[in-house]
Amino acid sequence: MSAYGAISAPTPIAELTSRLWPIPSGSVSTHPISFADAPEEMMQYMYEVFAKELEDGLTYPQEGPFDFEAFKTYFFKTASTTVIAVLQEASMKEPPSSLMEAQAERSWRECLGGFYYIKPNYPGRSSHNCNAGFVVPPIQRGKKIGGALAESYLIYAPALGYRGSVFNLVYENNAASLRLWDKLGFQRVGKIPRAGRLRSGPNGTEEYIDAVVVFKSFV
């Protein structure tokens, strides 16, 4: 659900399949899934990670707390699709055919590299512009997984029928994210002064931070 209410996504124009992406420590496989295909145990772990992200107060605008049902609605039920990244060995040449095969009997805490949703950013006549929300668990950061997720987004979002991507609030304290979108050809199309009340000050104190609006056309 958005400020506009429920929004219908465009019709997919290509099949979404699992893919393999190299990272310095091996590789990650990315798996587009729907809520119906999401294992409960995996969602529970994703919820723990996201709840901590909201508690830290540095990247997402929501203050929380989210309960588990609200998380499932936000990351799955209102999304065109949700993409799960699973850590793999460098020797893997083809992506696992399914999410459960990718997990390979490991715990999700051990193998979940990151995740993101894709959903329309606006309603009706502008619903061809999508938005995404990315999360990499703290224990997996520093492995370039975020870059692999971003590159997969550039494949999956157009395949879902979207013609462009808008990130409404990339806070300026998130320098790594801004560098990544710059590298991938996104444009900084606007700035919202003091858009976020974040816990980015000394000892986690709150301060107001500017946000950048970032856009990329897929056509």
- pLDDT tens string 141-161: 999 999 999 999 999 999 999
Q: Is residue 52 included in any domain, yes or no? A: yes
For residue 124, the enclosing domain spans 19-164
Domain annotation covers residue 190 = no
What's 85's domain CATH number?
Answer: 3.40.630.30
Surface-to-core class of residue 102, CB atoms within 10 Å of its CB (0-12 exposed, 13-18 middle, 19+ buried):
buried
pLDDT at position 5 is 65
- Output the pTM of the full model: 0.94
CA 48 – CA 75 distance, rounded (Å): 13
pLDDT above 70 (res 1): no
- The Cα 113–Cα 88 span in angstroms is 9
Q: What is the count of structural domains for the chain?
A: 1
Q: Is position 5 within any domain?
A: no
Residue 6 lies in a domain: no
- CA–CA gap between residue 50 and residue 133 (Å, rounded): 11
